[in-house]
Amino acid sequence: MNAPLKKSADRGFSLLELLIVITMISVIIGFAFIQIARAHQLMIRANAAYQLTAYLEKARLDSVRRRPTSTAQMAQVSIINATFYSVAIDSNGDGTLDAPQVISLPTDAQLHFDTPYPRTIYFNWRGRTVDSAGNIANPSFVNISSTYYGSTRIDLTSAGQPSLDGPPASSAVTNSAAPAPSFRNNTQVP
């Protein structure tokens, strides 16, 4: 005798199960989209910071190469306002500064400078940062911030070198007396 066939309700998906799966997939896609957008914004900010760091280093090296004697001849990076900066270097190698190149921070990432502006960073013939009078300036920094995703700090060392990783760790330098010479017992010192 054959057993009667059972009629089962689990032959397919119910509408409720389908809606639950679609909702779960939508939430996962939403989180992925948010993370991708955040990563994109962070990448744009990092690229803008790398670009500014590269221009600071170019200006520093240009001043070392040309050995200027006055601030008018020194390579410089000027923060003009919250979203623009300019770079004045001798890019064609004729010995004089070219017209400043104005660069904008990316507008789609809502980036801006957190440091006071207008501000000009001059580099002397030794590559150090100086003020407008040519006096050695203390090491400083520049912040590039995003409206929603934090900021990136570019530090300038006392030697004028830009650094994205924060100020370099320094260790104290100690001068010690040279060790006293040691002689063999039979050595005669006049």
What is the mean pLDDT of the segment spanning 21-44?
Answer: 93
Average pLDDT for the chain: 85
**pLDDT at site 116:** 86
CA–CA separation, 171 vs 155, rounded Å?
Answer: 18
pLDDT value at 122 more than 90: yes
CA–CA separation, 38 vs 112, rounded Å?
Answer: 17
The hierarchical CATH code for the domain 15-163 is 3.55.40.10
Q: Can you tell me which residue has the tokens 């500014």? A: 52
pTM for the structure as a whole: 0.75
CA–CA separation, 186 vs 63, rounded Å?
Answer: 59
CA–CA separation, 84 vs 96, rounded Å?
Answer: 23
pLDDT above 90 covers a percentage of the chain that reads 57
List the chain domain ranges.
Answer: 15-163
What is the mean pLDDT of the segment spanning 49-62?
Answer: 95
Longest Cα pair distance anywhere in the chain, in angstroms? Answer: 126
**pLDDT at site 170:** 53
**pLDDT at site 86:** 97
pLDDT value at 147 more than 90: no
**pLDDT at site 158:** 83
